[in-house]
Amino acid sequence: MQIRHPSGNRSGRRFSPYDILFALCFLLILAFCIWKLPYGFGRDDEALYASLPLHFAQGARLITEEWNLTQFFFLLMTPVISLFHAVTGSFDGVMMFLRMLYLAIHALTVMAVYARLRRINSWGALLAGCLLFLFTPYDIMSCSYNTIGLDCMMLAAAMMATGSRNSRVLPAICGVLFSVAVLATPFLALLFVLYFLYAFISRGKDIAVWYRFVWFTAGVAAAALPYLLLVLSQNSLQEILSGLPLLLDDPSHGKGTGILESAAQLLRNAPSGTALLFALYIIHLLVMLMDKKRGSHCIAHLICAVLISLAALLQAMRSLPNECYHAMFPPLAMLGLTAYVLTKNKCKPVFAFMFVPGVVYGLTMHFSSNNGYYAFSLAMFVAAAAGILMMADFVRELLAADNISKQLSRLAACAMLLVYLAAAGEACYVKLRHTFWDTDPRASDMTISSGPAKGMKTHTDTDNAAVYDAVIRDLADVNALPAGKLFVVDHRSWCYLAADRHQISAYSPWLTDLDTLSRVSRYYQLHPNQMPDYVYILHDSGVSPDTVKQALGGTWARQDREISTLLVRE
């Protein structure tokens, strides 16, 4: 049975005026994104999206020779990085290329999400699609575990919420998309367990639910099997079991903690007052659920939720654009949940396949990261998109209700629209004024002309620009040395892309223990064949060459430069 809904395009094919409006909004946002694309040079994080795949392209083994927890996702990018180098002969401009690739993938995802959600509610699909297009996790417009993971999760949720209950191919496709999201956020595998329990319990009443889960599992297996075979072909079972704890011990990601400590970490980086507003919303939700006449009191309940959501958005606005740039999504999700509870003709697939997975996604993203509220709230976009659809359904019922005045219904609809516009306005403002770890786009007065960041715009007076040029000159000299293994002591993993003649020789291009180098020492103890021939140390890394020598052992010749030191193994 095809999912149908009174306020949506039932066939999913018929052309409607909403499609014209969406197309106009899509083109405007696309032009906005193209304008923003070159601005900002993120220095560390964004470079990892190319340097980690390079590590695999150079022969590093999964798990044992790469210790970054996000490695499984970036294996997908290895063919892309290899093809770029094969075509261009270098990695000059590779970071801009990944930005363009991301924008193309993101635009296609937005169109696909809209095409699916318009089957449920045309207005809701339009608003959710526009907000999805405006938003980029951490405002880093590149192919990463955050951006591609969110797109895959959003598309899978939209397809599951709108697909036929007897479909086979669609759940399998969703299983593949979900697998990519799990590669980006490994703890998201919990959602598969929850889906299994739901399907297993429901199989007696509705066997179609179980069959749908089976086909979903087939898609997951089709995506997971190549990974499993590759890992087993590269490593013995003992090596895998020994290497997994080293991945889970990655300091750049979250660790298991108690409930209270985890809740405290979740609220880290959140706008001030967030905990109080969450508590107020939970009280509001409980009162609403206990209200046996909530249908008659729906406007009062809705206004309470609107006020809480607006307060949360206003709190976030105080720290924009440089902080809290994901904080607009939990308020939308909260307001959407209120609307869902108050709606009589509920669209249950949206709640089951979008809202609930969205909340689980947010929590598992938090457990996978050390970024607290930033990580949680970015993944809450899926729940927020479900919330937008729920609000659109509730508005439809309000406007058709006989027991509520038209003026009051329109006022309630405008209040919910105001919350959406505030969230969308924050997303626009962030994209307009913010660049990750760089200056305001309006102050960017130069375009980088060489190296991995070629084509990016930054400011001549920033450390990013000055240090970048000096390091590029250093690495040109390093690249002139006989090919060997290179270890860069700094977070600037783009150094490996600039010195691509040499093989990456570290537990990961992203170092997380510059204060002790303990993981570095451990890595070379386990893999003495990976001992570097060259060690490039940036002075502003805070690590002295003597500390590096002590961690590595052996005899090294030292060459001091203006901003760096090069150690050459003798």
Instruction: With CA atoms as reference, report the closest residue to 348 among 21, 45, 5, 40.
Output: 5
Spatial strand order of the sheet with 556-560 comes to: 503-504, 485-489, 534-538, 564-569, 556-560
Task: Report the 10 Å Cβ neighbour count for 228.
Answer: 10
Residue 207: C-alpha distances to residues 1, 213, 214, 245, 349 (Å):
13, 10, 11, 39, 16
For residue range 302-353, list pLDDT tens digits in order: 999 999 999 999 988 887 777 677 889 999 999 999 999 999 999 999 999 9
pTM for the whole thing? 0.93
**HSE-up (13 A, CA, CB side) for residue 90:** 13
Beta partners for residue 447, in sequence order:
457
What is the rounded CA–CA span in Å between residue 297 and residue 341?
12
pLDDT of residue 34: 97
pLDDT of residue 251: 66
| Burial (0-12, 13-18, 19+ Cβ within 10 Å), 483 | exposed
Give kind and range of the element (H or E) at residue 558: strand 556-560
- What values do phi and psi take at 325, rounded to 5? -80, 10
What is the rounded CA–CA span in Å between residue 421 and residue 52?
38
Pick out the chain residues at pLDDT < 50.
1-7, 10-11
| Burial (0-12, 13-18, 19+ Cβ within 10 Å), 234 | middle
Token output for 428:
């626009």
Residue 553: C-alpha distances to residues 146, 520, 547, 548 (Å):
37, 12, 10, 8
- Is residue 557 within 8 A of residue 568, CB to CB? The reply is yes
Task: Assign 447 to helix, strand or coil.
Answer: strand
- Is residue 48 within 8 A of residue 493, CB to CB? The reply is yes
Beta partners for residue 504, in sequence order:
486
- Give 166's DSSP letter: T
Matching residue, tokens 């970054």: 68
Beta partners for residue 560, in sequence order:
565
pLDDT of residue 92: 96
pLDDT of residue 11: 47
- Give 188's DSSP letter: G
What is the rounded CA–CA span in Å between residue 113 and residue 130?
10
| Burial (0-12, 13-18, 19+ Cβ within 10 Å), 403 | exposed
Task: Assign 535 to helix, strand or coil.
Answer: strand
pLDDT of residue 5: 46
Task: Assign 369 to helix, strand or coil.
Answer: coil
Task: Assign 58 to helix, strand or coil.
Answer: coil
Beta partners for residue 566, in sequence order:
536, 559
Residue 36: C-alpha distances to residues 45, 47, 301, 459 (Å):
18, 18, 40, 15
